[in-house]
Amino acid sequence: MGVPVPERLADDGMAAGPFLKWAGGKSQLLAQYAPLFPAERPARYFEPFVGSGAVFFYLRGRDFAGSYTLWDVNAELINVYRAVRDEVEAVIALLAAHRDAHAADGRGHYAAVRALDRQPGWPESLPPAARAARMIYLNKTCYNGLWRVNSRGHFNVPPGRYRNPPILDAGRLRAAAAALQGVDLAVRDFRTVVDEARPGDFVYFDPPYVPLSPTASFTSYAREDFGESDQRALADVFRTLDRQGVRVMLSNADAPLVHELYRGFRIEIVQARRAINSRAARRGPISEVVVLNA
């Protein structure tokens, strides 16, 4: 990249960054990613799998692009970002109430909040700020911060065992709200980016990874799984964007299928440390790939 500028700050001086714990989050990899981002300022930045937003917050803080577009198929996740952008003080107040209720009866409150998506009229039964606070609360108190839903779209992760979970970080939320101002947020499928991106734009893909073993794919963060057919469709989108003259970057597992799908493109290896695994012996450093078309 070019010379970095100061990070975007909230009024209290805190730099913006992820406020959700997310499987496969990229905060730890930003130093390895920095030399791989385009040196020229893109006209627009697209991120069709926003997740925790670590890459977005990093680039936003450096005034990386002319505009920013964040998508995800997880409607609850996009609602969180919209609510934090538009109603951060309401989200903070609701999280304070969750924090106090959790302190009084953690398991009981967790069970009641988790069950809200089983109620008639969901998700319209809760206003956006309350839905956002629910997701943040569950994210901070569930097992390993894992977001997983069943085939009915019901969140089904058990509670974690935390002595004092960080349910409310008002400064971090306000910093995120400042960074999200003017950002386009939508529930959209990654395939539609070929209709939007143009030469001079930069697209970063961080999809659900190709599993490294038959038992490695442990999470579905939306109702639909992301299987091999989706990985192949994503590779087709990557190639289409390349033909359209768009700069593209993609993260994925260091797996044979990934090397096959992106043969002919530049593939860099980075080292990540992943903590979410049912077997402690398999938590630790692991190689991942970054695919680039330039």
**pLDDT tens readout for residues 45-63:** 999 999 999 999 999 999 9
Radius of gyration of the chain (CA): 19
Q: Please state, for a pLDDT cut of 70, what percent of the chain lies above it.
A: 88
Least confident of 27-31, 51-55, 219-223, 269-273: 219-223
Residue 218 has pLDDT above 50, yes or no: no
Q: What is the DSSP pairing of strand 266-274 with strand 184-187?
A: unpaired
User: What pLDDT, on the 0 to 100 scale, is given for residue 213?
Assistant: 67
CB count in 10 Å sphere of residue 115: 11
> What average pLDDT does the structure give for the chain?
90
User: What pLDDT, on the 0 to 100 scale, is given for residue 25?
Assistant: 80
> Which of 52-56, 146-150, 152-156, 275-279 holds the top average pLDDT?
52-56
Give yes or no for a contact between 16 and 178, defined as CB atoms under 8 angstroms apart: yes
Q: Determine the average pLDDT of the residues in 135-149.
A: 93
Q: Please state, for a pLDDT cut of 90, what percent of the chain lies above it.
A: 79
Q: What is the DSSP string of 41-102?
A: PPS-EEESS-TT-HHHHHHHTTT-SS-EEEEES-HHHHHHHHHHHHHHHHHHHHHHHHHHHH
User: What pLDDT, on the 0 to 100 scale, is given for residue 12?
Assistant: 57
C-alpha closest to that of 84 among 136, 149, 126, 24: 136
* C-alpha separations of 26 from 54, 90, 205 in Å: 6, 28, 12
Cα(89)–Cα(181) distance, rounded to whole angstroms?
A: 14
Residue 145 has pLDDT above 90, yes or no: no
User: What pLDDT, on the 0 to 100 scale, is given for residue 41?
Assistant: 97
User: What pLDDT, on the 0 to 100 scale, is given for residue 79?
Assistant: 98
* Contact partners, residue 89, CB within 8 Å, separation at least 6: none
Domains of the chain: 27-73+188-292 (3.40.50.150), 87-173 (1.10.1020.10)
Q: Determine the average pLDDT of the residues in 100-126.
A: 95
User: What pLDDT, on the 0 to 100 scale, is given for residue 187?
Assistant: 98
Backbone phi, psi, residue 121, to 5°: 85, 0
C-alpha closest to that of 270 among 55, 32, 31: 32
* H helix or E strand, kind and range, residue 184: strand 184-187
If one compares 257 and 25, the residue with the highest pLDDT of the two is 257
Q: What is the DSSP pairing of strand 45-47 with strand 184-187?
A: unpaired
> Could you tell me where the DSSP H helices lie in the chain?
30-33, 54-60, 75-104, 106-114, 128-141, 170-180, 228-243, 256-261
Residue 4 banded pLDDT, cuts 50, 70, 90: very low
Question: What is the DSSP code (8-state) at residue 13?
Answer: S
Q: Tell whether pTM > 0.85.
A: yes
User: What pLDDT, on the 0 to 100 scale, is given for residue 177?
Assistant: 98
Residue 113 has pLDDT above 70, yes or no: yes
Q: Determine the average pLDDT of the residues in 131-144.
A: 96
Q: Convert the pLDDT of each residue in 183-204 to its tens digit.
A: 999 999 999 999 999 999 999 9
Tell how far CA 57 is from the center of its chain.
11
**Residue 174 in tokens:** 């306000």
Residue 281 has pLDDT above 70, yes or no: no
Q: Convert the pLDDT of each residue in 225-260 to its tens digit.
A: 789 999 999 999 999 999 999 999 999 999 999 999
* H helix or E strand, kind and range, residue 270: strand 266-274
Residue 98 banded pLDDT, cuts 50, 70, 90: very high
Residue 22 banded pLDDT, cuts 50, 70, 90: confident
